[in-house]
Amino acid sequence: MGTEPLIKLTDDGRANGPAEEGAPLLVRKSRISRVRAWVAIILGLVLWQVIAQWVVHNNAFLASPVEVARRGWEMLRDGQLWSNAGVSGEEFLLGFVLGSAAGVLIGALMAVSDAVHDYLEPWIAALYSAPIVALAPLVIIWFGIGVSSKVVVVIFMVIFPMIINTEAGLRATDKRLTTAALSFGANAWQQFTTVSMPSAAPFVVAGLRLAVGRGLVGVVVGELFGARAGLGNVITNASNVFDMPTLFVAVVTLALAGIILTNLLQRWERHLASWRDIA
């Protein structure tokens, strides 16, 4: 009595196996996740509207989603939102790219060298836990109120998750893979670039996801302590005059940017580690 083959050929010659049969299930799970996310957003907006309209009753303390949407449209039409979002976006992008690149490099050095790890680990642990709110005024004093100071604050917020995740990913590389690469004659650099880094890629992307939120917070913190423009500057000016609709427009804009960037990185992470979805 023969056993059922794991992989069958369809009429057009394509392989039909567990991975292909599991694809529709993954698609359904993805659709269900998106539906749940939209339901959560809608329920949150409804709850926000109810609290603002029926509990607080005062726009000076809490603006409703309707008021925020109306003010956001006005700011879009007069260009105020675009210009300030552009300034914050530039600061975030520069700091995020530089901080991520530096974090990956330092994390890789710490993973391959025990000496580098021993020298840097105490400083990374100390600086990672340091409150950025306390250090931001010093950065503003050192670098001025221009773009440079905000970029430095973002780098400070981004670099540590990247260091930690990169090192963890490289150290988690399956030793059997590196041994196999060495047995086929790969040198240390080839082993690092073809085995270790691809294996650590999902960890690096997970670090990028963490860094997105921290980087956006860094932009706002930097702009709160001194800026001529930017969403953080909008938040500061609006809070000084209790203009809650304008304040929430800036906050919602930052939140939407975080959601979009995190979602894109999450998709990239799933692509890099698609093998984890195969049961």
Q: Is pLDDT of 116 > 60?
A: yes
Residue where a domain terminates, one of 20, 39, 57: 57
Residue 130 sits in the same domain as residue 168 = yes
Residue 3 sits in the same domain as residue 53 = yes
CATH of the domain at 201: 1.10.3720.10
DSSP state of 241: T
Residue 23 sits in the same domain as residue 77 = no
Q: What is the largest CA-CA distance in the chain?
A: 82
The reported pLDDT for the residue numbered 26 is: 62
Q: Which two tokens stand for residue 41?
A: 């957003």
The reported pLDDT for the residue numbered 197 is: 80
Residue 141 sits in the same domain as residue 203 = yes
DSSP string computed for 3-51: PPPSSEE-TTS-EE-HHHHHHHHHHHHHHHHHHHHHHHHHHHHHHHHHI
Q: Which has the minimum average pLDDT: 144-148, 182-186, 244-248, 256-260?
A: 182-186
Per-position b or e across 72-92, b if 16+ CB within 10 A of its CB: beebeeeeebeebbebbbebb
Residue 49 sits in the same domain as residue 147 = no
Domain count, the chain: 2
Helix axes of 80-112 and 114-128: crossing angle, nearest 10 degrees: 140
Residue 19 sits in the same domain as residue 102 = no
Q: Which has the minimum average pLDDT: 56-60, 121-125, 152-156, 262-266?
A: 56-60
Element containing residue 212 per DSSP (H, E)? helix 197-224
Residue 52 sits in the same domain as residue 137 = no
Residue 206 sits in the same domain as residue 98 = yes
Residue 31 sits in the same domain as residue 123 = no
Q: Is pLDDT of 1 > 70?
A: no
Could you read off the pLDDT of 235-274 as tens digits, one per residue?
A: 888 888 888 888 999 999 998 998 888 888 877 777 766 5
Q: Which has the minimum average pLDDT: 100-104, 106-110, 144-148, 254-258?
A: 144-148
Q: Is pLDDT of 120 > 60?
A: yes
CA count, 13 A, side-chain hemisphere, 165: 22
Could you read off the pLDDT of 220-230 as tens digits, one per residue?
A: 888 887 777 88
Residue where a domain terminates, one of 57, 77, 103: 57
Domain that holds residue 248: 59-277
Residue 171 sits in the same domain as residue 102 = yes
Residue 155's pLDDT band (cuts 50, 70, 90): very high
Residue 44 sits in the same domain as residue 131 = no
